[in-house]
Structure 1
């Protein structure tokens, strides 16, 4: 890691925003020139160690200045925009500021690189950050995962909550500061004010004759003459008293050995209080983490930095000991940030840059699925073309949208009455129903049903095995209802493409949705059912109608809403039906009235008319299906295939290193493992 430190003069710290950010831009330009990287547009991480409101990683609006800074025209402004403006004004280099982080966040990220348990960052300072559960953060959308919170605990006590422990010396420090009434905790605990606290105590003790035989020199009365580094030097175990003698002599007070011991004791009390205060506030964070995790004993790492922690001979030990005493049910490792917060800022920037690039590539990958209005209008136009081809006698054979007549000529009018048996076959489950319809002033529909599984070996076995299984299920249901001796009219919902010549006859065109039973395509499925009933020789039924599930849906809804004239299924499969004018159905004689047409639009696109909007993932799903090249539209939008499309996308993104650390699990390689119901659960 290459670095360089630049001074920030007092006239800039108390000057204008233009001067400050011009200075930062000049320092950045000088460093880039020395590193011979001025011609590169590199991503930049900006450690800005002041309270900021952030709505995103590369935006930070300064809330208030702290730590002796009082630059005009910055509070309430986005510091990224101000720095970008200064860089642009120079015009001799470019920089892409991708992340603004607080120094505590930078410290946590730096230490987190070495210890993945690190979830707290502290600067003494003083400030802290930690990883909070998103569900507790009302200001940020989302409930899943965690986000780093910059506590800005330097302002703790600004509401008066620490008045009972603030001393007269704390109040005097505050009155003499550039921000009275603000950052009160910081003024009690941070290294910036510790030396001054000691000086004020020594002045009072000297005035009361407790030190230096009452001598008070101009040097002792001068603000800033005792620095925090002097406190650290005085508290060293061996040479501390000698250092104390040197420092006090420079202040002209002619100290005795007893004076030096007393001053050393004052330094110890002030620095120990700081360590105790920081330990107490850190304890609050640790308890929060423990409660969030719901564990009996917390194990965590605290990344820590700051000159007071690093340079003071006793501070770290005192802090650790007090934390253990205040939070005994925790195992806390303190990890010193050797590279400071800048390395962490670079890491945040590197992650942001990587995620930004990944997000861009992921968006490019998924862009094919975002169909524009113009594309959708074109799909609508092509569907209209296929509808016309399916309705015309000379083109129906080649049409992908078959537009199959159902011989259902009207929708319910409310006069229907009686008990009916219904079958519903269209997926991995088979349903048998008893439907009791009562007409009159108070129309009622009472239904009893049982659901039976269709094993995969039956779905893809012989036709005889399939229909024997169906008849077995009917027999079980009739036993269940105690109606085996009754000969009921039966309606058969058969959700596969059929060519019908009458209401009770339907020749299977081809299987879809994973079915592959042999000796069925080209056969009348009503006859196959009747033959199965004969083989069983236990009951008899009067098969009155065979309908597609879309037709059944339309008829069900039309019973409640007479204006219903379209049925749509968006489930395991995808299909639609509607009431068409007889004059437009060239395959059926007669021009008067209307008839329901089963579109069988799942095959839309089998002629290549949708190839321009099919993705590589649609093609992969098709290639590995039971009926490659068929039902292409259904494979793009039906529930049976959505999970498989997502699985193929996940595999591709993982292979490219965007997900799961580039590791494709054996489970993810399994076809069908990512079910469509997972999508529904994930998108709730």
Structure 2
């Protein structure tokens, strides 16, 4: 493990020329924007601990590999921070699936319901209709009864609009929170993450809670066949289009990953034949202190002010939910020390949440980024100079680049695991990917791809964007369950 001082020295030696066309690296620590001749050396001391060399990234990759193995082991799982939860999804789609399914997707401020028809029609094998329902703040922080009554009410409304209230269709449920599963249609919530803090649900089976809410209404029936995490849903969605897909990643409000692991390595599940999708819950990487040398004072401040201090530390460093706030904290400290805005600090700049991740994305756009930066800072009551805007853009670049580097390192750990499992000299695989950071940030995807290819050179990795989100994947899991049931004349997979 690297010490803080070692890491700082290594972090200095990193080239971020590609990060923004407004930034040019001269040497290792001197940043100059040639268009206005502005020297950014003065802010480097705030940013050096966020810039990682490839040597540091390889080290993070190895740390994460160890965490994966701890999570898979019977004796080490209870104390492991990366929980490696079995999903009981044993196969990606093979193209022979068919049927009429409903899919629910709960994991953020919006709740999505889809009707998915899977056919053998080669021109349009999947037909989807969907509606989005809001999940109000009082429900996100309310009781379990309120939450599942809301889900059941939305499902009833959707079925009414689809004129299918008289049918009992199979339902796939994307539930984007850590759950312990012993079978496909059971999921006990381990802990809430992101902005959710609903009472009376942790330690409970969410399928039972939803079924209870549906039964209480009494105006329709639903057969909840599968509960999947959004990462599994993403992998299955992409797996329908590319059967090489065996990894799913979300980089949005939160971040997580899943992949297909050999059953013989999963101590918590009986059997040695075949594979099973593992939900890594990598957001908790570092909760045991294993990333302390990489966390900054700004990361610690984010954690202290969060709903779950000490938990999901990797997610707080890498996901979209916290990126804007990280930038704001850095700007406040720089302004207090007279390095920005001529030392001016406004009440808006001091207000938590005033810089959002979408602002970071806008500021990093290659052509209009500096103009957007000036608009955003002006709305915060700051009167920025051109030099201020260049400096703020630089801060945004370093923060978002760090996120892409961290995700590349942990994904690298999964890819090397897959390569070792297969015993091949060169890995060929597809990563299904979704999330607002990956989709909306102008530089993020390119940076992630390049870093992964450097960290895992003996691989051919295709990144496949999940166009229709993770909810379609829940329907795909259900469709695969039906296919496997037809093959075995039983709905049991084991």
- TM-score, normalised with respect to structure 2: 0.72
What residue is the counterpart of 1:312 in the other structure? 441
* Partner Cα distance (1:115, 1:285) in 2: 19
1:115, distance to aligned residue in structure 2 (A): 0.7
* Partner Cα distance (2:490, 2:285) in 1: 43
Greater gyration radius: 1
1:361, distance to aligned residue in structure 2 (A): 6.6
What residue is the counterpart of 1:300 in the other structure? 429
Aligned pair partner of 1:189 in 318, 325, 332: 318
- 1:25-58 CA distance string (max 9 Å, x none): 1111111111111111110000000000000000
What residue is the counterpart of 1:8 in the other structure? 135
What residue is the counterpart of 1:654 in the other structure? none
Work out whether 1:22 is the aligned partner of 2:149: yes
1:10, distance to aligned residue in structure 2 (A): 1.2
Distance change (3 Å), C-alpha of 1:116 and 1:357: closer
1:360, distance to aligned residue in structure 2 (A): 3.6
What residue is the counterpart of 1:116 in the other structure? 243
* Partner Cα distance (1:360, 1:92) in 2: 30
* Partner Cα distance (1:355, 1:201) in 2: 52
Aligned pair partner of 2:205 in 72, 78, 86: 78
Aligned pair partner of 1:249 in 365, 370, 378: 378
* Partner Cα distance (1:203, 1:220) in 2: 7
Aligned pair partner of 1:200 in 329, 346, 368: 329
- 1:655-679 CA distance string (max 9 Å, x none): xxxxxxxxxxxxxxxxxxxxxxxxx
Check conservation: 1:232, 1:313, Cα contact below 8 A.
Answer: yes
What residue is the counterpart of 1:163 in the other structure? 292
1:554-565 residue pairs with structure 2 within 5 A? none
What residue is the counterpart of 2:45 in the other structure? none
Check conservation: 2:232, 2:279, Cα contact below 8 A.
Answer: yes
Check conservation: 1:98, 1:353, Cα contact below 8 A.
Answer: no
Aligned pair partner of 2:169 in 42, 45, 53: 42
What residue is the counterpart of 2:464 in the other structure? 335
What residue is the counterpart of 2:267 in the other structure? 138
1:87, distance to aligned residue in structure 2 (A): 0.6
What residue is the counterpart of 2:10 in the other structure? none
1:355, distance to aligned residue in structure 2 (A): 2.9
1:350-389 residue pairs with structure 2 within 5 A? 350-360=479-489
Work out whether 1:148 is the aligned partner of 2:277: yes
Check conservation: 1:104, 1:123, Cα contact below 8 A.
Answer: yes
Instruction: Tell me the SS of whatever aligns to 1:33.
Output: helix
* Partner Cα distance (1:218, 1:37) in 2: 53
1:356, distance to aligned residue in structure 2 (A): 3.3
- 1:269-312 CA distance string (max 9 Å, x none): 00000000000000000000000000011010000000000000
1:362, distance to aligned residue in structure 2 (A): 10
Check conservation: 2:484, 2:491, Cα contact below 8 A.
Answer: no
Check conservation: 2:481, 2:491, Cα contact below 8 A.
Answer: no
* Partner Cα distance (1:354, 1:291) in 2: 30
Check conservation: 1:174, 1:181, Cα contact below 8 A.
Answer: yes
Aligned pair partner of 2:220 in 93, 107, 113: 93
Instruction: Tell me the SS of whatever aligns to 2:134.
Output: coil
Check conservation: 2:180, 2:188, Cα contact below 8 A.
Answer: yes
Instruction: Tell me the SS of whatever aligns to 1:98.
Output: strand
* Partner Cα distance (2:264, 2:476) in 1: 26
Instruction: Tell me the SS of whatever aligns to 2:482.
Output: helix
Work out whether 1:273 is the aligned partner of 2:402: yes
Instruction: Tell me the SS of whatever aligns to 2:471.
Output: helix
* Partner Cα distance (2:322, 2:215) in 1: 37
> Structure 2: any 5+ residue segments left out of the alignment?
1-127
1:358, distance to aligned residue in structure 2 (A): 4.5
Distance change (3 Å), C-alpha of 1:362 and 1:217: closer
1:130-529 residue pairs with structure 2 within 5 A? 130-360=259-489
Instruction: Tell me the SS of whatever aligns to 2:145.
Output: helix
* Partner Cα distance (2:182, 2:430) in 1: 27
* Partner Cα distance (2:488, 2:157) in 1: 33
What residue is the counterpart of 2:60 in the other structure? none
Check conservation: 1:104, 1:129, Cα contact below 8 A.
Answer: yes
* Partner Cα distance (2:139, 2:469) in 1: 24
Instruction: Indicate the structure whose relative CO is greater, using CA pairs within 8 Å and at least 6 residues apart.
Output: 2
Instruction: Tell me the SS of whatever aligns to 1:346.
Output: helix
Check conservation: 1:45, 1:97, Cα contact below 8 A.
Answer: yes
CA RMSD of aligned residues (A): 1.2
1:359, distance to aligned residue in structure 2 (A): 3.7
Count of equivalent residues: 363
1:352, distance to aligned residue in structure 2 (A): 1.5
Aligned pair partner of 1:63 in 184, 187, 190: 190
